[in-house]
Structure 1
Amino acid sequence: MPTTPDTRHDCETWAPEQIRDHQLAALRTQLTRLHADSAHYRRQWDDLGWHPSDLTDLDDLAALPCTGKADYQRSIDEHPPYGDFLATPRENLARLHFSSGTTGVPTPVGWTAEDLGRWADLYARAAHSQGVRPGDVYQCLFSFAWFVGGLGGTLGYTRLGATVIPGGSGDTERQLETLFRYGTTAVGGTPSFLLHLADRARDLGRPLTDSVVRHVMVGGEPGGQVPATRALIEREWGARCYDGYGSLEFQPTAWECAAQAGGHLAEDFAYAEVVDPVTRAPVPDGAPGVLVLTHLDKQACPLVRWWTGDVVVRDRTRCDCGRTHARLAGGVRGRADDMLVVRGVNVFPSAVENVVRHTVGDLAEFRVVLDPALADPGTGYPTALRVQVEAATGAELGDRLAAALRSELQVRAVVDIVAPGALPRTTHKARRVVRAGDREVPEVLHVP
């Protein structure tokens, strides 16, 4: 049932026991179907001696191994071009989207027509929870080419009844002209692109606070849950900023409501586990762990115990908005594989971003460089962070930022000040951690 301006889905206010009952019933149906229709899972479970009838409780799902990107890629390589995860005939596929292909051949994920309807409905629920209504003008600033971002927003806001402008993540000046000319009231995009637009709008003498945009939904990067970055977006756009979370494989998974208190998991769409990144045992609510997801009703390429690699904290307390689905407190804290261990301290790029924005300035561009010169020769782990930051001044600012990083994160930092504009920009996802030599190193104005 499509979301309407005056109602929300009944499932969003189910009691906890209703949520669990629904998930268990949906899982039994889904896993039985996968055993019959997915060659990958049938082979895996038969090899384990496990059958869907063995699932009598949600906790029983932990008996199955996690599925990761390497498993999915191997399936594509061995059974090209679609792999053997498909649980529907190829001719039932209505849509294919692809991974970025930055680490190999782009991998496809499919949707049936029913899946696309579900996708649109989830996005519509997200927009409705943030105050968007029929008659709003939504300008989608996520990328459209090949990837998954732009189409989800376009489908969902259309389902809700908004007027949709599929702008994409380029053509900056035309985006701004369109936004002002057609009275855009809601936008969606990555934090980095939205801040780029704000910067350019100011240069053109047309600050975005003069627009009628009132709803900003961000995703693709952790900035929406970085307090300093959220505050910056809200100030630059004169609008409330909401964080959304999803991936190529699970679109969308969670979104913030008007309370801005962490993204509500779509628990009628996916069953979520939060596990220790090493032992893979469940962690208690309130403790950080890796999010593991299982589709409850996807038809084309359902995934069971999908290892997202995203570190989250689950909060099951009731939200002020009245929705009962668990929330991701603080959003995605970082990627398990992006987490840096500096002398025993776990550091995520999003934490560095928060300190940089508070110390250097809201619009400061930065990156963390993994420098072998700052690594322990025995273990290879970094002993300090090297942070490159754009600024017009040098020594005093570098020293101040290094002190702030030590104070806030309890790690030593070496700060390089580089010229404004020296670091690479992106209209897609900002890359905050690079290895020395990965990219051209800009001229350093201040050497600590």
Structure 2
Amino acid sequence: MDTLHAFESWPEDRIREHQLARLHSQLKRVHSMSGHYRRQWDELGWHPDELTSLDDLAALPTTDKADYQRAIDADPPYGDFLAVPGERLARLHFSSGTTGAPTPVGWTRDDLDRWAGLYARAAYSQGVRRGDVYQCLFSFAWLVGGLGGTLGYTELGATVIPGGSGDTERQVETIFRYGTTAVGGTPSFLLHLASRARDLGTPLSESKVRHVMVGGEPGGQIPATRALIEREWGARCYDGYGCLEFQPIAWECVAQAGGHLAEDFTYAEVVDPVTKTPVPDGEPGVLVLTHLDKQACPLVRWWTGDVVVRDATVCACGRTHARLAGGVRGRADDMLVVRGVNVFPSAVENVVRRTVGDLAEFRVVLDPALADPATGYPTALRLRVEAPDDRVGGTLADAVRAELKVRAVVDIVSPGALPRTTHKARRVVRANDPEVANRVP
């Protein structure tokens, strides 16, 4: 890979033409091979031949994780979303299984090649080249984690070290010993690793790392968190976005101006979370995705639950694929409504990082004592924040009111009092959660 793929700089009308052609063939195959969609569309009296424009796709219902799980429960172990014979599966990955049995998603050999190619494009767009040393710090155990990165950076020609998200001292030693130049991981683990490296007297800002790709949780698109990662690592930080079912969805380039959607791999809609009708570019809505060429588990109008803003302007890097301005703003089901104001945990994190600073952990506590008795909605945010001085609480409360336009009740706890994670940060907890109930401010 020496330059942009041609389709990364296609004009918008060429992209739409390609997407419509791919959808025609993909939906026919899905109707033929996927029992779930064939039954659903036949009941609706809809056939893929009726698709004459991209807008026609909106006639179909969205599909979500609950639909997928019900299909598996009815026909284990794969369910009837599977669109290839079981013997054609080359890889299975699973959901976290935190609310039920782990949910499998399959890949064929061609799907894996496509996956690797997309990750290689992401790395290339961030300045990684053949000869770089990539240390993958995403989890490998059961979850989809770092396999995409490992495949993609290998395809690009980098030397790959599959480190995983544990054994921090060895990770730091490896970074320095082997001259690692690029890393990937969750913001939480990368900040944890940076803190540990400083404790060891080997700050990562003195390493050769110059490219940091983060994903799995908000952070890369939160200005204060991105700035903190870049300072601690002495490197540029790029946001990557994907989910188990779509790997990857979007990634930032060197312009750091929002993740480029992989518009040759997925067709993306941004819709109102209630009416599910399209919203204009520049307005927030929920991202809905359709595979254009996935073989094993193709999904049509997949409800990601992620709130995004689409920007179709051409990027400074020359790529024309639409971007997610500001990355994922939050989960539709994580959004808090405080006296009519929509507040996402990522927005809270930005204020906390800039006000409290350094590597302080925090939690948004859902406290019934601060809820309106009539509606159940919170009337203020309760924040539990690590800080060395109780006086920081007042400063933070003022900053939250000024920037987010809501009242905050801030409980200060000592540095290190809140649990750390090497996987995905848990920012919103309930007041009766053991993490909260067993610790007093």
TM range (shorter): over 0.9
**Offset, 1:362:** 2.6
What is the 5 A alignment of 1:34-433? 34-394=30-390, 396-433=391-428
| Corresponding residue SS for 1:284 | coil
Q: What is the distance in 2 between the residues matched to 1:98 and 1:319?
A: 34
CA distance in 2 between partners of 1:379 and 1:103 (Å): 27
1:375-413 deviations in whole A, cap 9, x for unaligned?
Answer: 11111111110000011211x211111111011100011
1:387–1:414 Cα contact (<8 Å) kept: yes
Alpha-carbon deviation of 1:440?
2.7
Partner Cα separation in structure 2 for residue 56 and residue 354 of structure 1 = 44
Task: Give a deviation string over 1:253-295, Cα, whole Å, max 9, x none.
Answer: 1000000000000000000000000110100000000000000
State the distance in 1 between where 2:409 and 2:248 align: 38
Instruction: Determine helix, strand or coil for the equivalent of 2:27.
Output: helix
Give the aligned residue type for 1:318. Answer: V
Amino acid at match of 1:408: E
**In 2, Cα distance between the equivalents of 1:228 and 1:155?**
30
- C-alpha deviations, 1:162-191, integer Å up to 9, x for none? 000000001100000001000000000000
Aligned to 1:434: 429
Contact 1:368 1:432 (C-alpha < 8 Å) held by counterparts: yes
* 1:338-382 deviation line (CA, Å, top 9, x unaligned): 000000000000000000011111311101010011111111111
Identity of matched residues, %: 82
Alpha-carbon offset, residue 424 of structure 1: 1.2
Q: What is the rounded CA distance, in whole Å, between the counterparts of 1:251 and 1:440 in structure 2?
A: 32
1:8 aligns with 2:15: no
SS in 2 for 1:272: strand
DSSP-derived class of the 2:363 partner: strand
Per-residue deviation, residues 290-312 of structure 1 (Å, max 9, x unmatched): 00000000000000000000000
| Separation in structure 2 between the aligned mates of residue 34 and residue 332 of structure 1, nearest angstrom | 29
Contact 1:228 1:362 in 2 (8 A): no
- Letter aligned with residue 422 of structure 1: A
Q: What do you get for the CA RMSD once the two structures are aligned?
A: 0.7
Distance 2:356 2:4 in 1: 42
Kept in 2, the 8 Å contact 1:419–1:443? The answer is no
Residues in 2 aligned to 1:404 and 1:281: alpha-carbon distance in whole angstroms: 35
How many residues were matched structurally?
440
| Structure 2: 5+ residue stretches without partners | none
- Are the aligned partners of 1:86 and 1:302 in contact in 2 as well (CA < 8 Å)? yes
Structure 2 distance, partners of 1:437, 1:150, is 34
How far apart in 1 are the matches of 2:218 and 2:108?
A: 29
1:420 to partner: Cα distance: 1.4
Contact 1:229 1:362 in 2 (8 A): no
Amino acid at match of 1:133: R
Out of 126-135 and 396-405, give the one that drifted further: 396-405
Structure 1 length-normalised TM = 0.97
Distance (whole Å) between structure 2 residues aligned to residue 204 and residue 348 of structure 1: 35
Shift of 1:430: 0.1
Give the letter aligned to residue 116 of structure 1.
L
Equivalents in 2 of 1:61, 1:443: separation in Å?
A: 50
Letter in 2 for 1:173: E
State the TM-score, normalizing by the size of structure 2.
0.99
State the shift of 1:439 in Å. 2.7
Q: 1:326 to 1:335 in 2, by over 3 A?
A: same
| TM-superposed deviation, 1:432 | 0.4
SS at match of 1:149: coil
Q: Distance in 2 between matches of 1:443 and 1:339?
A: 25
AA of the residue aligned to 1:65: P
